[in-house]
Amino acid sequence: MTDSASRIVLGAVTLVQKGSLAEAEAVLRAGLPELPAHPALRHLLGVVVRDQRRYGEACDWLRTALVVKPDYAEAYANLGLAHKETGGLAAAAEALRRAVRLDPCNVNARVNLAVLSQFEGPARSAALLRQALCVRPDDRALLRRYAQVLALCGGPADIAEAGRVMRRVLAGAPDDAGAALMLATLVVGGPSALLELFNAWFKLLNAERRTNADLLSQRFGPLVRRDVLGLVGRAARKPLDEAGSAPRAARLLTVMGEPAAALRVLAAAPPGDPTHLQLMADIALPVEGRQTSLALYERFFAESCRGPAEPMPLGPGLADAVSARRVDPGAPPIIYVHFGNADYLKFSLAQSLRSNPRSRIIMLGDSANRYEHVEHHRLAAFMDRTRPVRAAYRHNSPNSYVYELFCVERWAILLEFCRRHGIREAFTLDSDVMPFLDFTENRAVFAGADIHFTENSGHFCHFTIDGLARFCAFLQGALEDGRYDAVSRYSDMTIVDDFRSVEPHGNLGIPRDGLVFDGNLRMAQGFRTGDGVKLIRFADGGAYGVLEDTGADVRFGTLHFQGKAKPLMAEAYAGRPLRALRQRVVAGVL
């Protein structure tokens, strides 16, 4: 590298290390006239632009560096990361593979390729990480990632191997709290098993009105229980400030029969993560009672909605869709009511923007889910008027307290928002629903009733303000008259079903005139299926299925990726066949 190039690159790197990305970009651009074909300048400019979330432009700069220097392994590695952010997974994988071929010792490229390969299954990812460990056998971060991927594989041999790897990590770093908690998780069967056990706590507790210690800790022998509690205690000697460590410790303590200790761990965790309050509200219900849980629930939403939030880019392939949007003030908006930022949410939002160019796309959310091109309103601004729902709610659901109470309360939040903003008609989608129909263009489909559900579910609902007000009045009355107090399992779907049995409504889940709105992608509902899901064909922006009995083609206005089908939302957004569900379940990706 010439003296001039070294001076420019080092100056830019110094600015990057200080977080001054825009200044670093300016320095690099100023150096281009002097060194127009220098690969290092173009490479670093691509990295700086990528770190400012201008992923398409980053790809362009990195490719120009590779034109000048075709064997530039680091440029290929960073091109792979930029392609990944644009949704070009195949191009990302190919770039990372080239980086590894050019520089077999580039462990970061191997790790990123392994992460990307989880779409092909965790076994492939584990194989790539094993190769990286041949280069760095004592890299603790690499060993931990390898153990995590083995845990995703899910087989008894994989879990056992992951446990051996984590014991090796702990032997070299006895104070590694994250490693201790990971090992404790593997002792109970892995991350999926821990989550299933924790969810089983709610189901059994509500069904049998017994304590967690009676219900779950008896599943483990005393040696397992001692091992798990010892590892959690070892991790909790210091504040659990690693992301996700306090919630994991709390779940482990809960399934070991120590929910009060779980609450203490969460209360002592460093502040700043409101999801700790969510978990505390769930665990506190049987330990400290309903009023404590309700107070934690309200704190959780207040803190989740606090603080500034920069809009995040939705990502893959949206430029054309956004530029083509011409919002019609008279078109009914599409409204989401959602907390948190699940991985699949962006695919639903992006598909709404793409398929409904005349509709406002509105998110009633929190600080975690503010996206570009989506009108965002904070949930907490409307929850002051929905206290009667919270006051009347009694938790008799197999789901967690926070999740189920929010599922019920969201209808009142939606009504309050529409009233304040003068919205007379709208659609609401759950975050695992993707629309494949322009609702405004097909408005006549929704003309038959003032509120439409999809079978007995509200995952896709059309309503007028009068129809929504009728449903909310019914919901409030049902909560207040105590009809669900003695029911062991009920949810907002139970309330929707009861409303449908006595009140006029429309059902969008019945095929009419070649159009239907999906109830559940994992259920046949009269359609041909394969690999555990409906067989869907994507063409010209639409989604189509075939009726089993008649062979007729039917268009789907929406698809509902319920439960384990959520990872297929990326495939649907790209218009690829949805035939990989069964294999992914077996492989443990889900």
Q: In this structure, what token pair is assigned to residue 17? A: 């290390």
Structure confidence at residue 1 (pLDDT)? 55
Quick: pLDDT tens for 95-126: 999 999 999 888 888 888 888 776 667 888 88
Tell me the CA distances in angstroms from 486 to 395, 398, 479, one per residue in order: 10, 14, 12
Q: Are 191 and 185 in contact (CB under 8 A)?
A: yes
Q: Can you tell me the distance from the alpha carbon of 454 to that of 517, in angstroms, rounded to the nearest whole number? A: 7
Tell me the CB-side half-sphere exposure of residue 425, using CA atoms within 13 A. 14
Q: How high is the mean pLDDT of the chain?
A: 88
For 469-509, give the DSSP string: HHHHHHHHHHHHTTTTTT-SS--HHHHHHHHHHHS--EETT
Structure confidence at residue 586 (pLDDT)? 30
Quick: pLDDT tens for 437-449: 999 999 999 998 9
Q: In this structure, what token pair is assigned to residue 89? A: 């997974």
Q: Can you tell me the distance from the alpha carbon of 411 to that of 477, in angstroms, rounded to the nearest whole number? A: 14
DSSP 2: -
DSSP 270: P
Please say if the pLDDT value at position 466 is more than 90. yes
Nearest CA-CA partner of 162 in 177, 145, 139: 145
Q: Can you tell me the distance from the alpha carbon of 134 to that of 220, in angstroms, rounded to the nearest whole number? A: 36
pLDDT bin (cut points 50, 70, 90) of residue 215 is low
Tell me the CA distances in angstroms from 427 to 331, 352, 499, one per residue in order: 10, 11, 18
Quote the distance between the C-alpha of residue 401 and its chain's center. 19
Structure confidence at residue 483 (pLDDT)? 87
Strand partners, 457: 454
Least confident of 14-28, 282-296, 304-318, 562-576: 304-318
Q: In this structure, what token pair is assigned to residue 134? A: 């041949």
| Whole-structure pTM value | 0.82
Nearest CA-CA partner of 345 in 581, 588, 566, 53: 566
Least confident of 16-20, 393-397, 454-458, 496-500: 16-20
pLDDT bin (cut points 50, 70, 90) of residue 91 is confident
Helix (H) / strand (E) element for 377: namely strand 375-378
Quick: pLDDT tens for 159-191: 999 999 999 999 999 988 889 999 999 999 988
Quick: pLDDT tens for 329-376: 999 999 999 999 998 999 999 999 999 999 999 999 999 999 999 999
Q: Can you tell me the distance from the alpha carbon of 271 to that of 249, in angstroms, rounded to the nearest whole number? A: 16
**Better-scored residue on pLDDT, 589 or 552:** 552
**Better-scored residue on pLDDT, 34 or 297:** 297
Domain boundaries in the chain? 175-304, 319-508, 509-590
Angle, alpha carbons 494-531-203 (nearest 5°): 35
Helix (H) / strand (E) element for 459: namely strand 457-464
Q: Can you tell me the distance from the alpha carbon of 37 to that of 364, in angstroms, rounded to the nearest whole number? A: 48
Structure confidence at residue 271 (pLDDT)? 80
For 303-366, give the DSSP string: HHT-S--PPBP--TT-HHHHHT----TTSPPEEEE--S--TTHHHHHHHHHHH-TTS-EEEEE-
Structure confidence at residue 585 (pLDDT)? 33
Quick: pLDDT tens for 271-307: 878 999 999 999 999 889 899 999 999 999 999 998 7
* Long-range contacts of 304-307, Cβ-Cβ distance < 8 Å, separation of 24 or more: 304/274, 304/339, 304/340, 304/366, 304/367, 304/368, 304/379, 304/380, 305/366, 305/367, 305/378, 305/379, 305/380, 305/381, 306/367, 306/380, 307/367
Coil, helix or strand at residue 582: helix
Q: Pick the most confident of 10-24, 113-127, 211-225, 551-565.
A: 551-565
Q: Which CATH class is domain 319-508?
A: alpha beta
